[in-house]
């Protein structure tokens, strides 16, 4: 069986024929000559309709899916058309390629699918290609996906920020968190009011006005935009964010007190206590639990803060917003008397956003909590896998590619 036969079986296009296949001079790649079928007109790349020929350009090489360790190239002499509809001389459009890209569509889809399973570097290595070509492949597939995705109705969204580089470099991510669809809808630069407004520009006012739930953290720019664009929606402060904030405060208190004890030459009781205090007690091993209980006997600021944090967890057991509200008020009052400044800051912030926190209980039956947290963890894994360049564009593509559930370009054959 000849290579041409296989190609005709899996990668055939009307108006073009495979002429012959041969090895390149160095025997490392296979070159397949392609030519237009006699009498078939070239297609204008601007209006996508057949147009009269004008002239020919130099031969171009399109990289195809490699075969048994050989690189495979399709060689084709592009024609130019004199399109009267467009009133210009334009390069023809070929069905296996995408504009100026050097990879065939089939190969780009092939690489992009692997780039979802492996890191981009591993993909490039496995198929003896470059990181840049993997980037191109993912860009092609994601661009198609975003152009062809159907947003439909969106009931619930979650907005979150993610740090992607040192020095306060953040991305804003918006997820759809409906009960039946969870996917990444949008990636934005920074976490400012302007950037988050960009999401609403993309989805349009009509869709935005129908959103029923919005889940976010206490970041003021997000709160402001949500208030402005989704005024009808029930806005929920996410449990995971509140707990994360409290852990951060506790960690600060512990680090400060530990330094103070050391500088005063005291017994370093807080040494190696970080995870004892941050983990939930039920997740500790027996030995750690003993150490924790030992530590709790000391009259330390850290211990008092820890006990306040643990007491707070009860909040999530309530079903009724009214009882949850009463508990929240009691807890905040207690904290305000504690003279532990970082905890007092938390209490102030919780008081300020009291209604949004209680919305968690108003919506609990309808929103599965932890969805945003889960998606955010996946986003972090994706960012690690796309390593090679930490530019915004690269991360944006990688995130849409693995979390966007985007439609893929059609293919003549399942190469992978």
Stretch that binds Zn ion, among 33-41, 83-91, 104-112, 252-260 (CB under 5 A): 83-91
Contact status: 85 vs Zn ion (CB under 5 A): yes
Give the x/- contact pattern for Zn ion in 135-174, rule: CB under 5 A.
Answer: ----------------------------------------
**With respect to Zn ion, which residue has the nearer C-beta, 42 or 83?**
83
Question: Are 65 and 74 a contacting pair, CB within 8 Å?
Answer: no
Selected range binding Zn ion among 86-94, 163-171, 314-322, 350-358, rule: CB under 5 A? 86-94
Q: State in angstroms the smallest separation of the CB of 383 from Zn ion.
A: 41
Site string for Zn ion, 3-42 (x = CB under 5 A): ----------------------------------------
Residues touching Zn ion, count (CB under 5 A): 6
Query: CB 48 → Zn ion: shortest distance, Å?
Result: 8
In degrees and rounded to multiples of 5, residue 269 shows phi and psi of -65, -25
46 binds Zn ion (CB under 5 A): yes
- The verdict on 295 binding Zn ion (CB under 5 A) reads no
Measured from the CB atom, the residue of 83 and 142 that comes closer to Zn ion is: 83
> d(Cα 80, Cα 54) in Å, to the nearest integer?
5
Nearer to Zn ion among residue 47 and residue 162 (C-beta): 47
Smallest gap, in angstroms, from Cβ of residue 85 to Zn ion? 5
Shortest distance (Å) from residue 82 CB to Zn ion:
9
The nearest distance, CB 96 to Zn ion, in angstroms, is 20
Q: Which residues contact 113 (CB under 8 A, 6 or more apart)?
A: 416
The answer to whether residues 219 and 161 touch, using CB atoms and an 8 Å cutoff, is: yes
Nearer to Zn ion, 44 or 300 (CB): 44
| E-only strand ranges, 275-387 | none
Q: Which of residues 170-209 bind Zn ion (CB under 5 A)?
A: none
Judged by CB under 5 A, the stretch of 13-21, 81-89, 181-189, 347-355 that binds Zn ion is: 81-89
Provide the minimum distance between the beta carbon of 89 and Zn ion in the complex, in angstroms, as a whole number. Answer: 10
Q: Is 84 in the site for Zn ion (CB under 5 A)?
A: no
Q: How far apart are CA 349 and CA 357, in angstroms?
A: 11
Residue from 34, 42, 83, 242 that binds Zn ion (CB under 5 A)? 83
Which CB atom, from 90 or from 305, has the smaller least distance to Zn ion?
90
In whole angstroms, how close is the CB of 140 to Zn ion at the nearest point? 22
User: If binding is defined by CB under 5 A, does position 91 make contact with Zn ion?
Assistant: no
Out of 43, 44, 157, 250, the only residue in the binding site for Zn ion (CB under 5 A) is 44
User: Closest separation between CB of residue 185 and Zn ion, Å?
Assistant: 34
Among residues 83 and 234, whose Cβ is nearest to Zn ion? 83
- Rounded Cα distance between 391 and 398, Å, is 11
Q: Do the beta carbons of residue 146 and residue 400 sit within 8 Å?
A: yes
Among 41, 75, 86, 261, binds Zn ion (CB under 5 A): 86
Nearer to Zn ion among residue 52 and residue 370 (C-beta):
52
3-class SS string, the chain: CCHHHHHHHHCCCCCEEEEEEEECCCCCEEEEEEEECCCCCEEECCCCCEECEEEEEEEEEEEEEEECCEEEEEEEEEEEEEECCCCEEEEECCCCCCCCCCECHHHHHHHHHHHHHCCHHHHHHHCCCCHHHHHHHHHHHHHHHHHHCCCCCCCEEEEEEEEEECCCEEEEEEEEECCCCEEEEEEEECCCHHHHHHHHHHHHHHHHHCCCEEEECCCHHHHHHHHHHCCCCEEEECHHHHHHHHHHHHHHHHHHHHHHHHHCCCCCCCCCCHHHHHCCHHHCCHHHHHHHHHHCCCCCHHHHHHHHHHHHHHHHHCCCHHHHHHHHHHHHHHHHCCCCHHHHHHHHHHHHCHHHHHHHHHHCCCCCCCHHHHHHHHHHHHHHHCCCCCCHHHHHHHHHHHHCCCCCCCCCCCCC
- For Zn ion, what does the binding mask look like between residues 250 and 269, x meaning CB under 5 A? --------------------
Quote the least distance from Cβ 93 to Zn ion, whole Å.
9
Q: Note whether 243 binds Zn ion by CB under 5 A.
A: no
* Closest approach of Zn ion to the CB of residue 50, in Å: 9
- Asked if residue 310 lies in contact with residue 281, where contact means CB atoms within 8 angstroms, the answer is yes
Residue 43: CB minimum distance to Zn ion, A = 9
| Site residues, Zn ion (CB under 5 A) | 44, 46-47, 83, 85-86
């Amino acid at each position: 069986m000849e290579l041409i036969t296989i190609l005709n079986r899996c990668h055939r296009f009307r108006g073009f024929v495979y002429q012959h296949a041969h090895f390149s001079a160095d025997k490392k790649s296979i070159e397949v000559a392609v030519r237009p079928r006699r009498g078939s007109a070239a297609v204008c790349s601007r209006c996508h309709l057949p147009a009269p020929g004008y002239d020919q350009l130099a031969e171009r090489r399109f990289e195809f899916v490699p075969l048994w360790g050989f690189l495979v190239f399709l060689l084709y002499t592009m024609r130019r058309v004199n399109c009267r509809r467009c009133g210009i001389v334009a390069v023809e459009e070929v069905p296996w390629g995408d504009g100026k890209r050097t990879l065939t569509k089939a190969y780009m889809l092939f690489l992009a699918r692997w780039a979802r399973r492996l890191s981009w570097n591993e993909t490039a290595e496995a198929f003896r290609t470059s990181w840049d070509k993997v980037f191109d492949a993912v860009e092609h597939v994601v661009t198609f996906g975003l152009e062809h995705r159907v947003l439909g109705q969106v009931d619930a969204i979650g907005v979150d920020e993610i740090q992607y580089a040192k020095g306060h470099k953040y991305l804003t991510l918006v997820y759809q968190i409906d009960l039946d669809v969870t996917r990444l809808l949008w990636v934005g630069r920074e976490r400012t009011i302007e950037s988050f407004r960009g999401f609403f520009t993309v989805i349009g006012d009509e869709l935005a006005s129908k959103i029923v739930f919005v889940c976010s953290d206490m970041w003021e720019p997000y709160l402001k935009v949500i208030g402005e664009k989704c005024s009808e929606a029930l806005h929920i402060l996410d449990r995971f964010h509140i707990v994360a904030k409290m852990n951060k405060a506790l960690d600060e208190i512990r680090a400060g007190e530990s330094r103070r004890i050391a500088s005063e030459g005291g017994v370093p009781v807080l040494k190696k206590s970080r995870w004892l205090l941050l983990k939930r007690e039920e997740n500790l091993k027996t030995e750690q639990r003993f150490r924790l209980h030992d530590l709790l006997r000391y009259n330390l600021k850290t211990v008092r803060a820890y006990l306040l944090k643990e007491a707070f967890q009860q909040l999530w057991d309530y079903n009724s917003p009214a009882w949850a509200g009463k508990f929240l008020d009691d807890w905040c009052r207690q904290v305000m008397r504690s003279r532990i400044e970082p905890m007092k800051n938390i209490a102030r912030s919780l008081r300020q956003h009291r209604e949004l926190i209680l919305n968690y209980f108003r919506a609990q039956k309808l929103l599965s909590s932890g969805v945003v947290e889960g998606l955010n963890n996946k986003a972090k894994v994706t960012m690690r896998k796309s390593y090679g360049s930490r530019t915004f564009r690269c991360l944006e593509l990688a995130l849409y590619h693995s979390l966007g559930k985007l439609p893929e370009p059609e293919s003549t054959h399942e190469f992978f």
